[in-house]
C-alpha cells in the first residue's frame, strides 16, 4: 500500500537533545503498551467480561513500536523503556520485540502478571529484557480468585520464581492495596518479598478501573501502609534518595538491613512534580499522563508515511502540553475513558 500524505503535523525538525515539558520536567521514560488483552480480569482494572478488544490491525506492529522508541532514544536520550499492557506476554512472539529494542541500549523492563514467565523468562532475558515488575496482590488462593477472577495464584508465584532464576534483576512485586480486600495481607507480602530477596511496592488503588466502582474509601493511603509495615518490620528513618531516574515509589529500607519496601501514593500524594514519563497505548496513542484526557495519534503519523521528524514534532508538541499534575479526589477531576489495561500501567 502506498503511504498516504502526512496530514496534520508539521515536519519541522526537532533539534534539542533533551525533551522538556512546559513545566521544566525532563521526559525520558517511555511506557509502551503492546496489547489491551489479558488473561486475568483484575477487579481494579477490568470488568469480568473483559473490554472490547482492539482489532489486531489497529495495534502497532513491533516494527512500528521500535521505530517510535528509536526516535525517542536517538533524539532525546530516553534511557528507560517499559513494555506493558494488558498482559504483554500474551502478544505473539513477544521475544522478538525485545530483540528489536535491545540494540537501543536502554533500561529495558516489563510489567507483567507473571503467569507466562515459567516459559518466557529465559527467552526474554536472552533477548534483552533486563528486569520485571510483577503484579501480586495476595498470597491467598481464594483472594487471588476474588481479585483476578482466575485461579492462577500457583502459576503467578511460579512465574516470580522463574524470573528470579532467569536472572531478571531486580524483580519487583507490585501490590494494589484495596480496603477490605487485601489490606490484611500487607505483612504477609512483606515477608514473602524479603524471603525471596525481591523488591515490593504497594500501590494506591486508582480510579482507572473501567468504571467498576472505585471510591476514595477503598484506597488505603500509603502512610497507613507504611505505619502497618513499620510496626512489624521497623523501617529505618527517611526515604531512600532516588538515584538517576524518577521513582514513583517512595522507598524505605528495613532497619535490619534485609531489603526495602516502597509505596506509590498516586492518589493521596501524587508524584506529578517529578514525572519523567510518557505512555503509548497499544493502538499508538501518545499519552503524557495516566489521567490525560487527550492523546496524540502516533500511529497515524507512522502509517501515513510521516518521517521521523514528523513523529518527533508530534511527540514534542504533546510533551510541551503535559499537564502539571492530576487532581484525583478534587471536584474537577475527570476520569479518563480508558481503563488501566487500555492505557498501559
Ligand atoms: N498485566 C500486567 C500486570 O498486571 O502487571 C501489566 C499491565 S497492568 C495494567 C500494570 C499495573 O497496573 C499493574 O501493576 C496493576 O496492578 C496496576 N493497576 C491496574 N489497575 C490499577 C488501578 N485501578 N489502580 C492502581 N494500579 C492499577
Ligand atoms: Fe490484566 Fe494487569 Fe489489568 Fe490485571 S492489572 S486485568 S493482569 S492488565
Q: What's the confidence (pLDDT) of residue 13?
A: 45
Q: What's the confidence (pLDDT) of residue 299?
A: 98
Residues in contact with ligand 1 by the CB-under-6-Å rule are 38, 44-45, 84-85, 87, 111-113, 135, 174, 176, 203, 205-206, 208-209, 340-341, 345
Cβ neighbours around 146 below 10 Å, total: 14
Question: Cα(181) to centroid of ligand 1, in Å?
Answer: 16
Nine-digit cell at 338?
Answer: 480508558
Q: What's the confidence (pLDDT) of residue 220?
A: 97
Burial profile 71-107: b = 16 or more Cβ within 10 angstroms, e = fewer: bbbebbebbbbbbbbbbbbbbeebbebbbbbeebebe
Q: pTM for the whole thing?
A: 0.92
CA 282, CA 99: separation in Å to the nearest integer?
A: 19
Q: Which atom of ligand 2 is nearest to the CA of 341?
A: 8
Q: What's the confidence (pLDDT) of residue 274?
A: 81
Give the number of the ligand closest to the Cα of residue 152: 2
Question: Cα(128) to centroid of ligand 2, in Å?
Answer: 23
Question: Cα(68) to centroid of ligand 2, in Å?
Answer: 25
Residue 126, C-beta contacts closer than 8 angstroms, at least 6 positions apart: none
Domain residue spans of the chain: 19-343
Q: Are 345 and 38 in contact (CB under 8 A)?
A: no
CATH number for the region 19-343 comes to 3.20.20.70
Question: Cα(4) to centroid of ligand 1, in Å?
Answer: 36
Q: Are 29 and 78 in contact (CB under 8 A)?
A: yes
Spell out the per-residue pLDDT of the chain, length 345, in tens.
333 333 333 344 444 589 999 888 999 999 999 999 999 999 999 999 999 999 999 999 999 999 999 999 999 999 999 999 999 999 999 999 999 999 999 999 999 999 999 999 999 999 999 999 999 999 999 999 999 999 999 999 999 999 999 999 999 999 999 999 999 999 999 999 999 999 999 999 998 888 888 999 999 999 999 999 999 999 998 888 776 666 778 999 999 999 999 999 988 887 777 889 999 999 999 999 887 778 999 999 999 999 999 999 999 999 998 877 776 766 566 777 777 888 777
Q: What's the confidence (pLDDT) of residue 153?
A: 98
Q: Residue 53 belongs to what H/E stretch?
A: none
Nine-digit cell at 144?
Answer: 487471588
Which of 146, 147, 212, 340 to mutate for ligand 2's pocket (most ligand atoms within 8 Å of CB)?
340
φ, ψ dihedrals at 330, nearest 5°: -80, 155
Residue 290, burial from CB neighbour count under 10 angstroms (0-12, 13-18, 19+)? buried
What are the DSSP E strand ranges found in 68-212? 80-84, 107-112, 131-135, 171-177, 199-204
Radius of gyration of the chain (CA): 20
Amino acid at each position: 500500500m502506498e503511504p498516504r500524505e502526512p496530514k496534520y503535523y508539521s515536519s519541522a525538525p526537532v533539534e534539542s537533545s533533551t525533551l522538556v515539558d512546559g513545566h521544566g520536567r525532563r521526559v525520558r521514560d517511555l511506557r509502551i503498551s503492546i496489547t489491551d488483552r489479558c488473561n486475568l480480569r483484575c477487579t481494579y482494572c477490568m470488568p469480568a467480561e473483559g473490554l472490547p478488544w482492539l482489532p489486531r490491525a489497529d495495534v502497532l506492529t513491533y516494527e512500528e513500536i521500535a521505530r517510535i522508541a528509536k526516535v525517542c532514544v536517538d533524539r532525546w536520550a530516553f534511557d528507560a523503556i517499559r513494555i506493558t499492557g494488558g498482559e504483554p506476554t500474551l502478544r505473539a512472539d513477544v521475544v522478538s520485540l525485545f530483540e528489536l529494542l535491545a540494540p537501543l541500549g536502554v533500561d529495558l523492563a516489563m510489567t507483567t502478571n507473571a503467569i507466562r514467565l515459567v516459559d518466557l523468562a529465559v527467552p526474554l532475558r536472552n533477548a534483552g529484557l533486563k528486569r520485571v515488575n510483577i503484579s501480586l496482590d495476595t498470597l491467598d488462593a481464594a483472594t487471588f480468585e476474588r481479585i483476578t477472577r482466575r485461579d492462577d495464584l500457583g502459576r503467578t508465584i511460579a512465574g516470580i520464581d522463574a524470573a528470579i532464576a532467569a536472572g531478571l534483576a531486580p524483580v519487583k512485586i507490585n501490590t494494589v492495596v484495596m480496603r477490605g480486600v487485601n489490606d490484611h495481607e500487607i505483612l504477609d507480602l512483606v515477608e514473602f518479598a524479603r524471603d525471596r530477596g525481591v523488591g515490593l511496592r504497594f500501590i494506591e488503588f486508582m480510579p482507572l478501573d473501567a468504571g467498576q466502582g472505585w471510591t476514595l474509601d477503598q484506597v488505603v493511603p500509603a502512610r497507613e501502609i507504611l505505619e502497618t509495615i513499620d510496626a512489624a518490620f521497623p523501617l529505618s528513618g527517611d526515604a531512600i534518595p532516588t538515584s538517576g531516574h524518577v521513582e514513583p515509589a517512595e522507598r524505605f529500607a528495613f532497619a535490619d538491613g534485609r531489603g526495602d519496601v516502597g509505596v506509590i501514593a498516586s492518589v493521596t500524594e501524587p508524584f506529578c512534580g517529578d514525572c519523567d514519563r510518557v505512555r503509548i497505548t497499544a493502538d499508538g496513542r501518545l499519552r503524557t499522563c495516566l489521567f490525560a484526557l487527550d492523546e496524540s495519534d502516533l500511529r497515524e503519523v507512522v502509517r501515513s508515511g510521516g518521517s521521523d521528524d514528523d513523529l518527533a514534532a508530534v511527540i514534542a508538541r504533546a510533551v510541551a502540553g503535559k499537564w502539571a499534575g492530576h487532581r484525583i479526589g478534587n471536584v474537577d477531576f475527570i476520569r479518563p475513558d480508558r481503563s488501566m489495561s487500555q492505557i498501559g500501567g
